[in-house]
């Protein structure tokens, strides 16, 4: 079990082993889910809206990746 302490301002440090396991970096957001008497912490996923090309899957074929992969 991995432990950390809560400060008087309700802050804590995410232990290094947890940061490494979740691949957390400075600026990443963390999501919390309450499940009965437990809290599950995960790395928040960036909204798809941040990638303006996320909906253009018609150009996501093998030939396209090969032709444009190094741009």
Cβ–Cβ under 8 Å, residues 44 and 28: yes
Nearest to 32 by CA among 44, 14, 50, 16: 44
- Could you tell me the domains of the chain? 1-45 (2.10.260.10)
pLDDT at residue 68, rounded to an integer: 78
Per-residue model confidence (pLDDT) at position 48: 57
Please state, in angstroms and rounded to a whole number, the distance separating the CA atoms of residues 22 and 63: 33
Judge if pTM exceeds 0.85: no
What pLDDT shows up at residue 61?
78
Low-confidence ranges of the chain (pLDDT < 70): 46-56, 59
């Amino acid at each position: 079990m991995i432990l950390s302490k809560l400060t008087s301002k309700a802050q804590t440090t995410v232990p290094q082993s947890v940061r490494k396991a979740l691949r957390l970096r400075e600026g990443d957001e963390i999501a919390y889910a309450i499940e009965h008497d437990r809290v599950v912490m995960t790395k928040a996923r960036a909204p798809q809206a941040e990638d303006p090309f996320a909906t253009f899957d018609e150009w996501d074929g093998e030939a396209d990746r090969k032709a444009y992969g190094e741009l």
